[in-house]
Amino acid sequence: MLTDIALDAMGSDKAPEPEIRGAIAACTHLPVRVHLVGPQDVLRRALSAHLNGQQLPIEIVHASEHIAMDEKAAHAVRAKKDSSMRVGLKLVREKRVAGFFTAGNTGAGMATAKMVLGALPGVDRPALAIVVPTLSGSPTILLDVGANVDCKPQNLEQFAVMGEMYARSVLKIARPRVGILSVGEEEGKGNDLTREAWALLKQLPINFIGNVEGRDIYNGSCDVIVCDGFVGNVALKTSEGLTRLVREMLKASLTTTVTAQVGALLSRKAFNAFKRRLDPSEYGGAPLLGVRGVCIIGHGSSNDRAVMNGIRVAAEFAQAGINDGIEREFSQRPVTETDQPSVDPNLPLQ
């Protein structure tokens, strides 16, 4: 049986090309049916040009508008009632598809998902999670990386529950180690938020290992790392900036001398292997955890491979039944009261 996934065909920087090629790749390699959401005339033409007569389970769902990468999310979400994001997420709400993927404006994607799908019972603030490669080979989940600034300890507690569930269900880690991102490993270290969150997390029926530090994001010593959205976003963006610096420096170093140029040519294959391991397109985008439905948000620079992986992650997320698990988890324990969510739908992640 095929899993139905809605795909925002107008999301990425080069849309709809990567989306159409990604949908074709996904339907070729994975047991999925893709619902391409966007302007039907444009999509129909482009799709038939690429399919070239081939029969694949791809359907087109019309949406007359789309939200640009540099649009202010709060305004766009309200104003564009027929955006490809909104139409795609409505398919999720109406259970016509099992999940949704977009490589578009992150702030708009989160805001639209919260508006169209709503939060799961017990979740005050949905969180955006990223899955990063580590030294140990096993990936680490970091959340929240973009949705919530100025969190309460209870938010970090909820992030821990949701992240742990994702690690178990999708990443198949039997007993995920959960830590709080802080500036020292001992219990007393950190700021008011992390100290109060510590007290809450150690009560949870999870494998809580205490505080971890920034370097632990990439060394594989912890499977799920929670932090407020401000700190998580800084860590994510700092990593993006440093990756770019490293790439440019290597390129510059390698073209300096003729010997180095020959060396670079010979080791290009190895470089490509390395790049693939660090490449976000292999990781298929960031899941938005805590909304009533499956929503995965990819990078604006997504290529067809990244789109295919985003579709794959959406399907795996849906099949793992994570949202049922999160709901069950929160219904079984006393809900800690927090204030009203104060999400910032303008927050640009990319």
Evaluate the CA torsion angle 129, 348, 125, 100 in order and state its sign.
Answer: negative
Degrees (nearest 5) of the Cα angle 76, 78, 82?
80
Degrees (nearest 5) of the Cα angle 146, 149, 154?
105
Binding of a copy of itself at residue 346 (CB under 8 A)? yes
Q: How many other CB atoms are found less than 10 A from the CB of residue 258?
A: 8
Q: How far is the CB of 137 from a copy of itself (least distance, A)?
A: 10
Kindly state the tokens that stand for 135. Answer: 């030294």
Binding of a copy of itself at residue 338 (CB under 8 A)? no
Binding of a copy of itself at residue 263 (CB under 8 A)? yes
Binding of a copy of itself at residue 335 (CB under 8 A)? no
What is the pairing mode between strands 286-289 and 295-297?
A: antiparallel
Span 202-241, contacts to a copy of itself by CB under 8 A: 213-219, 227, 229-231, 233-241
Binding of a copy of itself at residue 189 (CB under 8 A)? yes
Q: Which residue lies nearer to a copy of itself by CB, 186 or 324? A: 186
CB 191 within 8 A of CB 108: no
Binding of a copy of itself at residue 68 (CB under 8 A)? no
Coil vs helix vs strand at 343:
coil
Q: Tell me the C-alpha distance between 186 and 127, whole Å.
A: 26
Kindly state the tokens that stand for 14. Answer: 């080069």
Q: How far is the CB of 274 from a copy of itself (least distance, A)?
A: 4
Binding of a copy of itself at residue 8 (CB under 8 A)? no
ω into 287 cis (within 30 of 0) = no
Q: How far is the CB of 11 from a copy of itself (least distance, A)?
A: 20
Instruction: Give me the residues paired with residue 83 across strands.
Output: 65
CB 215 within 8 A of CB 137: no
Binding of a copy of itself at residue 253 (CB under 8 A)? yes
Where does this chain touch a copy of itself (CB under 8 A) — which range of 19-27, 122-130, 196-204, 260-268?
260-268
Instruction: Give me the residues paired with residue 130 across strands.
Output: 142
Binding of a copy of itself at residue 93 (CB under 8 A)? no
Q: How far is the CB of 44 from a copy of itself (least distance, A)?
A: 37
Where does this chain touch a copy of itself (CB under 8 A) — which range of 31-39, 81-89, 156-164, 274-282?
274-282
Beta-strand runs (E) in 78-126: 99-102
Q: How far is the CB of 39 from a copy of itself (least distance, A)?
A: 29
Binding of a copy of itself at residue 267 (CB under 8 A)? yes
Tell me the angle at which helices 258-266 and 268-278 cross, rounded to the nearest 10 degrees. 60
Binding of a copy of itself at residue 199 (CB under 8 A)? no
Size of residue set near a copy of itself by CB under 8 A: 69
Q: By CB under 8 A, name the binding residues for a copy of itself.
A: 133-135, 146, 149-150, 181-184, 186, 188-192, 213-219, 227, 229-231, 233-246, 248-250, 252-254, 256-257, 259-260, 262-271, 273-274, 277-278, 344, 346-348
